[in-house]
Amino acid sequence: MLKDKDSAAIVAVKDIDRARRFYRDVLELELTSDGDQVLEFKTGKTALVVYVSDFAGTNQANAVVWGVGDEIEAITRRLAEKGVTFEHYDGMDYADGIHRAGDFDMVWFKDPDGNILHLNSM
């Protein structure tokens, strides 16, 4: 039924202007649609929709995941240079913000509303 249909990630935020600056300027996503309550960004072959909601930041799991392959170290370093801080979870070891589990590397950080964003080396 849906296997051939496109999908998009969607993230709730409280402050659309602050979200625009974060997703456009910090994450360097291309803003493709700019409204008062809804933004759309191009990210790879998909879209990330950001919209205003009173429930922003209440999800305690990954909201968006990017598979960045072997660029994970460079991207993590660039995010750190832009002031992004990385999440650390109990029971995991980190080096420069990156958790390594064999050949699989992972990074977590939050947007200004507390949505958990995730990078991995897939």
Query: Would you identify the CATH topology of the domain 9-120?
Result: 2,3-Dihydroxybiphenyl 1,2-Dioxygenase; domain 1 (3.10.180)
What DSSP assignment string belongs to 18-50? HHHHIIIIIS-PEEEEE-SSEEEEEETTEEEEE
DSSP bridge partners of 46: 43
Q: Are the C-beta atoms of residues 120 and 109 closer than 8 Å to each other?
A: no
Q: In what order do the strands lie in the sheet with 62-67?
A: 62-67, 116-120, 104-110, 98-101, 94-95
For 56-104, write each residue's pLDDT tens digit: 989 999 999 999 999 999 999 999 999 999 999 998 889 988 999 999 9
What number of helices (H) and strands (E) belong to the chain?
Answer: 2, 9
pTM here is 0.93
State yes or no: pLDDT of 27 exceeds 90. Answer: yes
For the chain, give every domain's residue range: 9-120
Percent of the chain at pLDDT exceeding 70: 100
pLDDT of residue 6: 83
CA–CA gap between residue 2 and residue 91 (Å, rounded): 37
Q: Are the C-beta atoms of residues 33 and 40 closer than 8 Å to each other?
A: yes
